[in-house]
Amino acid sequence: MIFRLKNLILSACLFAAISVQAADYSGTLPVIYINTENNTPITSKEDYLQATYYLDPMGIEGVEAFGSVDSQLPLEIRGRGNWTWNGFDKKPYRLKFGTKTAILGMNKSKHFALMANADDELSGLRNAVGYELARMIGMPWTPSAKPVEVVLNGEYIGLYFLTETIRVDSDRVNIVEQLDEETDPTAITGGWLVEIDNYDTDPHVRITEGNGERIIFTYKTPEILSTAQEEYLRNQMTTIDAAIYNEDKNDNEWENYIDLDRLVRFYIVQEILDNAESFHGSCYMHRDMGDNQKWMFGPVWDFGNTFRRGSGWFIYEYPPYGQTWIAEIAKYPHFQEKVSEIWKELRAGNFDDIYTYIDNYVSAYEKAIQADDVRWPDYGSQDVTGDGTTMKNNIRERAKFLAEHWGDAGKDVEETETSYTVYFTAEGTEWENIHAYSWDYDGSVTEFLGNWPGTLMTATTTIDGKEYYTITFDPGYTANDPMIIFNDGRGGVGEHQTENLVLQNHAIYDHNGIIGTYTAIDVVNNDNKITITQRTIEATGHITLYNIQGILVAQGNNNVAAPTAGIYIVLHNGNATKVAIK
């Protein structure tokens, strides 16, 4: 099977490179040493173990040491998470420092988590990028997550991200902290921090959504409810649900209960990363005290399931796990207007900074990520640069899709010296969900269009009266041996995919391979349009063709033919246009 063979080649190359290495920290990041009492293993998510710790900055400028090997500081530690605790050998942990600590430059607190990122084979970029996008779009507080290598009871256990946990606090979710078992009618209106959850084992209130699905609201603050608190929470969520499922989508009553601006910012971040598990689990809401307060979506948390299914749908379309409320809210015109407004603000502002953030992440943490991969080869990555490229291309393609629906198409991916535009016809197949999967092999595999099966092809181009699927993407460098597979987006491989095909810019493919090339550059001058099909330039009127040195090579009325592939200057109606002929 073609795709699996590629992975076997990669695995063999990586094994030869890393099998002689010991599993040890890289020394490029701070190291936190944790020792449980009597070296007791951490096996519980409920019960803390007594422990000590110290943080060695490892010479990193600006990082403060905490404790030392001879003077360790008090700590409590336990397991955390649901799927990440049960499904992976590399475990996440919850920490409680003995005193409030401003560790790694974060705000003082006792409460942090060590996030393992074992579910993120893209070098841990999913959570990091999700949190950064939330900051960029203006969410009021997003957890800080600082990379640190961890030695537990004398054993190196890999790269973790020391992360601020979501809790009511003046430096985190800044609302009144509601007391447990409160009964005062005024006091129970606020200080709520709840999670739309997908586990019914945690303390929760459950209602039935307007579409018949259950919704679980796990309450974090308060932790123990009085009867009055439980009734208030259930009544609030039932009222919101009824307002959302109003048949009149011009009646925006639900906005009396949910803050629209905050919801939209939260939602856009999920859409950029195609987080199909958002609004299903790890989806936080909070409400401050007061009858006129609204429920606020956020903070963001857990992007482990981003970019898992290929682009081409909104997160509420065909969700693999279900999506609470958002599909119904998306039917409201006022919501869509606000989405378009804030999306355009983000795109016109600092959106492209996310690509620089990814580059800096790769540069700073590459060696530590590779060391983690030696320790946990089932979860990590040696091709950190390739993972960064994959993440950037995923975001570019996703942004292009969103711009087609929300406006601001001017930010679409533009062709550059290293970009590719390709065309595909599904004629002769019964394929309906055409995906493109592309990669480069230069000692290791670099994926251009995300993980298999790649990116859904939604755009089309008409060539000689026939419609072709088309996609443009930029690897960001000159590829060494680029390849592409077109497929039907199915889980298996074989009959629903092409062979490994050479990736050629401007190539036209069918299920058997390249059937031609096409370069189309449309220039409108006084309602006149130039079209280039293979080596023929067509337009109404006289056309003069010069090579890049300015030498006349062809001229004629309505069409001319370029003698060879290359860069040319087309003079038409007094306007000069540079074109590339393949």
For the segment 277-286, the average pLDDT, to the nearest whole number, is 94
The 8-class DSSP code of residue 256 comes to G
Give residue 15's pLDDT: 39
| pLDDT score recorded for residue 525 | 34
| Higher-pLDDT residue of 515, 265 | 265
Reply yes or no on whether the pLDDT at 482 is more than 80: yes
The reported pLDDT for the residue numbered 492 is: 60
pLDDT for the residue 550 = 57
The DSSP secondary-structure symbol of 510 reads: E
Among 17-21, 217-221, 357-361, 566-570, the range scoring the smallest mean pLDDT is 17-21
pLDDT of residue 534: 67
Position 20, amino acid: V
The closest alpha carbon to 454, from 481, 493, 425, belongs to 493
Q: What is the pLDDT of residues 125-177, one digit of tens each?
A: 999 999 999 999 999 999 999 999 999 999 999 999 999 999 999 999 999 99
| Count of all residues that appear for the chain in the document | 582
Mean pLDDT, residues 21-41: 91
pLDDT bin (cut points 50, 70, 90) of residue 573 is low
CB of 108 within 8 A of CB of 102? yes
Banded pLDDT at 23 (limits 50, 70, 90) = confident
* pLDDT of 477 above 90: no
> What is the average pLDDT value for the chain, to the nearest integer?
87
**Cα 429 to chain centroid, rounded:** 32
Tell me what pLDDT residue 416 has.
53
**How does pLDDT run across 401-460, given as a tens digit for each residue?**
899 889 874 544 444 567 888 999 999 898 988 999 999 877 678 888 888 888 888 778
Work out the angle at residue 101's Cα, subtended by the Cα atoms of residues 126 and 219, and round it to the nearest 5 degrees: 60
Give tens-digit pLDDT for 47-88.
999 999 999 999 999 999 999 999 999 999 999 988 889 889
Q: Is 114 within 8 Å of 161 (Cβ atoms)? A: yes
Checking if the pLDDT of 22 tops 60, the result is no
Residue range 338-357: average pLDDT?
Answer: 92
- DSSP code, position 258: B
Question: Is 457 within 8 Å of 513 (Cβ atoms)?
Answer: no
Contacts 24+ apart (CB under 8 A), 56-60: 56/30, 56/31, 56/32, 57/30, 58/27, 58/28, 58/29, 58/30, 58/31, 60/28, 60/29, 60/30
Segment 318-329 mean pLDDT: 91
Per-residue model confidence (pLDDT) at position 3: 40
Determine the residue type at 570.
V
**Which of residues 372 and 580 earns the better pLDDT score?**
372
At residue 340, the pLDDT reads 93
Joined tokens for residue 554: 């062809």
**Choices 3.40.190, 2.60.40, 1.10.8, 2.40.50: CATH for 382-398+409-517:** 2.60.40
Q: Which residue type occupies 556?
A: G
Task: Provide the pLDDT for residue 529.
Answer: 64
Across the range 521-540, mean pLDDT stands at 60
Arithmetic mean of pLDDT, 519-544 = 62
Name the residue among 509, 567, 563 with its Cα closest to residue 536.
563
pLDDT bracket for residue 491 (50, 70, 90): low
CA 457, 458, 464, 465 torsion-angle sign: positive
Write down the domain spans for the chain: 21-164, 187-348, 382-398+409-517, 524-581
Taking only the tens place, the pLDDT of each residue in 194-239 is: 999 988 888 999 999 999 999 999 999 999 999 999 999 999 999 9
pLDDT tens across 204-215, in order?
999 999 999 999
The pLDDT assigned to 20 comes to 35
461 Cβ contact partners less than 8 Å away, ≥ 6 residues apart: 423, 467, 468, 470, 518, 520
**What are 374-384's pLDDT values in tens digits?**
999 998 899 99
**Amino acid 176: pLDDT:** 96
The single-letter DSSP state of residue 201 is S
In this prediction, residue 9 has a pLDDT band, given cuts at 50, 70 and 90, of very low
**Number of neighbours of residue 116 by Cβ within 10 angstroms:** 27
* Confidence band of 350 (pLDDT split at 50, 70, 90): confident
